[in-house]
Amino acid sequence: MPAAHCLLQCREEIAATASDLSAEQLWAKPGGAASVGFHLRHIVGSLDRLLTYARGAQLDGEQRRALAAEGARGDPPAAAAELVAGVEAAIDGAVATLRATPESDLLLPRSVGRAALPSNVLGLLFHAAEHTHRHTGQIVTTAKIVRASL
């Protein structure tokens, strides 16, 4: 439940913070910081990757390509509404995964990445929530900065 609550709180904060950003604000990198657009794409991708590992699978080529493209604005630049909708869908999917994960599976061992770092289902589900929360905080802060400066 705490992971689900965290994800739902992030969903609300992101919608309230990033939905109305202009393309310029969305892709600005104040002081060299990562853009709000990057953080939005990264949340979608990291949730997908962490839940893939939690299922006991490894990343495929499409997931690796998406990872490499997380910071790209696109031409034309991706719009805030599109990116926020993607985050909302990813969080909704993650919450559904949490709901569907049997308690008996939580301590099943899982390996992460090419290095096969050890973890378990519970650790990956928790990390998915806290990682999303971290990037949500960065979205909120960066959005405040770009609103004040652009």
Q: Is the pLDDT of residue 150 over 90?
A: no
Which one, of 66, 82, 69, lies nearest residue 26 by Cα? 82
Q: What is the mean pLDDT of residues 45-58?
A: 98
SS3 77: coil
Element (H, E) at 121: helix 121-149
Total domains in the chain come to 1
Higher pLDDT, 93 or 71: 93
Identify the domain containing residue 85 by its residue range.
Answer: 2-149
Q: Can you give the CATH number for the domain in which 22 is found? A: 1.20.120.450
- Mean of the pLDDT values across residues 37-65? 97
Query: What is the pTM assigned to this prediction?
Result: 0.96
Three-state helix/strand/coil letters over 47-70: HHHHHHHHCCCCCCHHHHHHHHCC
137, two tokens: 């905080």
C-beta of residue 80 within 8 angstroms of C-beta of residue 30: no
Residue 1 has pLDDT above 90, yes or no: no
> Does position 75 have pLDDT exceeding 90, yes or no?
no
